[in-house]
Amino acid sequence: MRKKSIFVYILLLLAIVCAACFGAYQYFFGALEHDSSFEDAVDNAVDRLAVNEQTDLNNADIKNIAIFGIDSQDSKKGRSDATMILSIDRVHNKIKLCSIARDTLVYIPDKDVYEKFTHAYAYGGAQLAVKTLNKNFNLNITDYVAVNFSEMASIVDMLGGVQVNLSEAEIPYLGECGKSLTAGDSVTLNGEQAVSYSRIRHLDSDDMRTSRQREVMASLFSKAGSLTATQYPALIRQGLGLCTTSLDYSEILKLSQFLLTSKPTLEQDALPGSHVDAWGGIMPSSRAWCYVYDLREASDYLLSFIYEDIYTSAGINLPSATVDKSFIK
């Protein structure tokens, strides 16, 4: 009889533990919009990349994730108004952000056309946008996170706003939401203001535009890093409901643990920036203006930024550029 009681007690204890684990999972990840269809399609494309023959890069503990800001109310449709490569570099204990100019002329696989990179997401969602990044920049990205403008604003508000260096010239481009602001260093923007700030296009250059986007991301990174351990559960729970991603809950937990325990430094950069010669060109299909630069040269710089000494010592011979100066009409 006593053995039976112990057995019942153990079963009850296991049931409680399972219920607690399930409840915790639902609390943290119940709102997660996981894109499970993404993995197979992109893995198949990545396997064909010449750069993947280099085991030095594949074996490095560095994970690259595509970040897309979508210009619609649906993070699954629309053009990618902002694109960044987020690199989780456990080798050098760094987080790296590199912007890719939305108007970069690229080859879009599957569609078999040369167009602005921003169109890839509109043609085929995250799958085609990631394939396009991998093909043109010799990357091995297998995951992404996408947010639309309203979702991004909510994320900023959730963290209490972001701090940016705001100039007098930028304020008029924020529209109605910017009328209450005063120029200065470390000005706090709410979600709506931060999205408007990130989208300024006609004041200066696309390089400055991507710089503003990374400034917002860097402020969010700083805010998240300053939270206490007790504040993270609510942040994870709310934040996961505001994006679409190919990452599953175990990968998200690993990334969160790295951010919490390792305290990595943040580095940022952009393409084309000052690293490669860039020219204005006319897109063959629509006759619209686009950024034209040698994508082999850009790939070389980007891989050096992401992998540092691992890449520079590997002696990788990159394939010919998908786009170069010859595309200028």
Q: Which residue has the tokens 């991004």?
A: 152
User: What's the confidence (pLDDT) of residue 72?
Assistant: 65
* 9 and 146 share one domain: no
Q: Which of 18-27, 99-108, 271-280 has the lowest mean pLDDT?
A: 18-27
Contact 80, 244 (CB under 8 A): no
* 20 and 117 share one domain: no
Contact 106, 114 (CB under 8 A): yes
The b-or-e profile of 12-37 (16+ CB within 10 A means b, else e) is eeeeeeeeeeeeeeeebbeebeebee
d(CA 177, CA 156): 15
* 165 and 215 share one domain: yes
d(CA 247, CA 239): 13
Contact 210, 67 (CB under 8 A): no
* 23 and 37 share one domain: no
Q: Which domain holds residue 244?
A: 31-327
* 178 and 308 share one domain: yes
Q: For 1-36, write each residue's pLDDT tens digit.
A: 454 455 444 455 554 444 433 344 444 444 555 566
* 191 and 213 share one domain: yes
Confidence of residue 220 (pLDDT cuts 50, 70, 90): confident
* 167 and 252 share one domain: yes
Q: For 72-96, write each residue's pLDDT tens digit.
A: 655 556 778 888 899 999 999 998 9
* 280 and 148 share one domain: yes
User: What's the confidence (pLDDT) of residue 22?
Assistant: 37
Confidence of residue 64 (pLDDT cuts 50, 70, 90): very high
d(CA 144, CA 66): 4
* 11 and 45 share one domain: no
* 18 and 112 share one domain: no
d(CA 201, CA 173): 9
User: What's the confidence (pLDDT) of residue 301?
Assistant: 94
pLDDT over 90 (residue 239): no
d(CA 107, CA 153): 31
* 8 and 49 share one domain: no
Domain containing residue 130: CATH number:
3.40.630.190
